[in-house]
Amino acid sequence: KKMYKQKGTGGARHGSARVPQFRGGGRAFGPVVRSHAHDLPKKVRQLALRHALSAKVKDGAVRVFDTAALSSPKTKDLTDRLGKLGLANALVIDGAEVEKNFALAARNIPNIDVLPVQGINVYDILRRETLVLTKAAVDALEARFK
């Protein structure tokens, strides 16, 4: 909105009072919101994934199961099962698709993450104490790293 009328005041012509040349006005060339992120090269990401998996194997924090399947999507059944195995903080990597009942049962358990083998990443591997792989996931990872 114009500060005051164009003519008849004796003052200079002005438009908005929010322009940078007025005290309390805007900032000339203010900050532009944009992403400054950049992706790592694909080979560096692959190397990081190999190192993360190697570190877990070296620490003895990798377990391999035949399948990650449940008969019903009950969180209590899964927590009991994981408790018996001593898995309180784990990342479970299943085959191409995570078994539906297992995923539903695990989603409300704190410190238990479930991912399909395509979703495996360095961050999730390193933030959980134990890495649990199914046989399908092991086969897929071996094929991926050949």
Which amino acid is residue 63, in one-letter code? Answer: R
Q: What is the pLDDT of residue 137?
A: 96
Q: What is the pLDDT of residue 128?
A: 96
pLDDT mean over 108-131: 96
Mean pLDDT value across residues 29-50? 96
Domain 42-144 in this protein, CATH class: alpha beta
Q: How far is CA 31 from CA 38, 52, 65, in A?
A: 20, 38, 52
Spatial separation of the C-alpha atoms in residues 18 and 96, rounded to whole Å: 57
pTM (two decimals): 0.75
Domain ranges of the chain: 42-144
Q: Report the C-alpha gap between 56 and 78 in whole angstroms.
A: 23
Please give the radius of gyration of the chain, using alpha carbons only, rounded to the nearest integer: 28
Phi, psi of 130 (to 5 degrees): -115, 140
List of residues 6+ apart from 50 with CB closer than 8 A: 145
Q: What is the pLDDT of residue 73?
A: 95
